[in-house]
Homo-oligomer: A and B are copies of this chain.
Amino acid sequence: MRAVCVIGLGLIGGSVLRAATTAGRPAWGTTTSEADAAGARAEGFEVLDVEPALRRAAEEEALVVVATPLTAVRAVLRQVAEHAPGAWLTDVVSVKEPVDAEVRSLLPAGRYAGGHPMAGVSSSGWSAGSGELFTGAAWAVTIEEDTTLEAWREAARLALDCGAQVVPTSAASHDFAVARISHLPHVFAAVLAAVGADGGPLALSLAAGSFRDGTRVAGSEPELVRAMTEGNRIALLDAVDDALGRLGAARGSLASTGGLKSTVDAGYDARRTLDELAINERVRATVQLNGTALERLRELGERGSRVVALTETAAEVEIPV
């Protein structure tokens, strides 16, 4: 089994290190956080300085997993380029086009496929992680025109070994989608929390489930939220504009006719679609990993399909019907 070198041992990186180890893979990590390093070592994990960690990755032909905030990615990739330029490479950063661009500028093509596990909690750091964080979660693994089957398979296998299901997608489609289902929710939570607090102590004293749920992720570490949302600026602007349009329409309707029917109905239908995704029937298909496999997988991902198993020669895919 291919070894794994995790760079960054916060919530996500720390959970990858745990899950990869549980899956039986040789795995070690490196981090600039003393607290995360101490936490990992206390639980028996191997934590090295960044240079030895990467040199070992080069020697063992490991998969290097970049698990730092976006703002640290360029510096980390420079180190990878210096100490382990030929290693297999993936990342778990929440935006994919900026990481893809950095990789292209610093490292040889063909060894990298980007990743993004759709799992998280409001708390951060090693201590917030768990080897079960990714169980059943979606984990995007990106496919560009020049992505190699080998690099994609390395990244996808890590996701499956961590208990996740793989969503094949392009970096651009990923960034467009997560702007809507991850980054806008963080902006909405922040705005909602602030409007609620504007109501003073009485409002917060009366706050119950709808406000707690709607503002939960506003409690996430601000620097991580900023790195994530600001890093996906163009796609997020598009999502915010859609939201402003819909919220403005609700305002107009409420002010003129007093009604919110189209707003409420559209939201209800959308949420039902989400809930039904989890229970709807899916068909299984086998995609042979030949020359056009990645293109086919990306099309299937666009339709909401997920890769649930992978062999040397084929991917098992669950397709919504």
Contact residues of A with B, CB < 8 Å? 118-121, 137-138, 140, 167, 169, 173-174, 176-182, 184-220, 222, 225-226, 229-230, 233, 236-237, 239-244, 246-248, 250-251, 254-255, 258-261, 263-275, 277, 301-306, 320
B266 A254 Cβ-Cβ under 8 A: no
B169 A243 Cβ-Cβ under 8 A: no
A199 B176 Cβ-Cβ under 8 A: yes
A240 B250 Cβ-Cβ under 8 A: yes
Given contacts A190-B250, A233-B254, 8 further A-B contacts (CB under 8 A): A121-B209, A179-B199, A180-B195, A186-B210, A187-B250, A205-B305, A229-B254, A236-B254
A261 B202 Cβ-Cβ under 8 A: no
Question: Which residues of chain B are within 8 angstroms of A303 by Cβ–Cβ distance?
Answer: 201-202
A222 B270 Cβ-Cβ under 8 A: no
Tell me the nearest residue of chain B to A277, going by C-beta.
B204
Copies in the complex: 2
Tell me the nearest residue of chain B to A251, going by C-beta.
B240
| Most chain B CB atoms below 10 A, which of A248, A261, A268 | A268
> What's the Cα separation between A195 and B241 when bound, in Å?
10
> What's the Cα separation between A236 and B195 when bound, in Å?
11
> What's the Cα separation between A260 and B138 when bound, in Å?
27
| Most chain B CB atoms below 10 A, which of A259, A273, A274 | A274
B174 A218 Cβ-Cβ under 8 A: no
A240 B225 Cβ-Cβ under 8 A: no
Contact of A199 among B118, B177, B240, B246 (CB under 8 A): B177
B265 A222 Cβ-Cβ under 8 A: yes
Question: Which residues of chain B are within 8 angstroms of A203 by Cβ–Cβ distance?
Answer: 176-178, 180-181
Tell me the nearest residue of chain B to A173, going by C-beta.
B202
Question: Which residues of chain B are within 8 angstroms of A244 by Cβ–Cβ distance?
Answer: 244, 247-248, 251
